[in-house]
Amino acid sequence: MTVAVLVLAAGRGERLGAPVPKAFAPLAGVPLVVRSLAAMARVREVDRVVPVVALADRDRFAALAPGLAGIPKLTAPVWGGAERQDSMQAGLASLGPDVDLVAVHDAARPFVRARDVARVLAAARDVGAALLAVPVTDTIKRVRAGRVVETPERSECWAAQTPQAFRAEVLREALARAAAEGFQATDDVRLVERLGLPVAVVEGDPGNVKITRSEDLTAAHARLLDLRACDEAVR
Ligand code: C5P
């Protein structure tokens, strides 16, 4: 079983308000994309880690070479597209027929735990597609034009995370159908759901946050300092 992970880093991430694209924003001096690539390479079940980067960031990514040199399993970068789904398509197209399982991960989620990646890969192998998610603690409202249109049952609401993982043929079929029908999603397993195929939910870690706004980066930095302080205290 050959397993590849696409680490999507081709977005602009304008909500972060950083002077560089989000994936290149440093967290304690290390860009988010480097942290996420390293986190994926640490997973024993993963054979190949594929960075998907905007062509406009070619030089910026090349400049990370010293930091990437120590990361095993890394392939050459693949150039992403205008939408997240285009970036995923480009990453998938770069994989050979030898790849059986594909996971897709946001470069903006640097805290993902290896054991959760392994669990979502195992579920995708068994079911066809799977995602990490956490039960929501807030009540969720569906809102349109400033008015509540629906309140889904909270016990059935989960917040989707990445990685989301797929048998390669399932992801190929789902992307081909979405492209043929002009369907775009911000969530990868959505493309499989719409084909009526099963998607397994694997309970993840609330700490696997996506860095979106500048306050997320500040909170992430504080968390890293806490983790370091804990490490030192138990050493
Ligand atoms: O914008 P958002 O935070 O939802 O993006 C999630 C991930 O998808 C980010 O890591 C971003 O770099 C990636 N992405 C991409 N190509 C795009 C848009 C987003 O690789 N065209």
Task: Give the tens place of pLDDT for each residue, 37-79.
Answer: 999 999 999 999 999 999 999 999 999 999 999 999 999 999 9
Structural domains of the chain, with CATH: 2-234 (3.90.550.10)
143 bridge partner residues: 148
Atom of ligand 1 nearest to the CA of 106: 10
- The band of 230, judged by pLDDT with boundaries at 50, 70 and 90, is confident
Please give the distance of CA 205 from its chain centroid, rounded to a whole number. 14
Q: How many residues does the chain have?
A: 235
Helices and strands, number each (H, E), in the chain: 8, 11
Pocket perturbation via mutation, ligand 1, pick of 8, 40, 53, 164 by most ligand atoms within 8 A of CB: 8
Full-model pTM: 0.96
What residues does ligand 1 touch, defined as CB less than 6 Å away? 8-11, 13, 22-23, 52, 80-84, 87, 106-108, 186, 210, 212
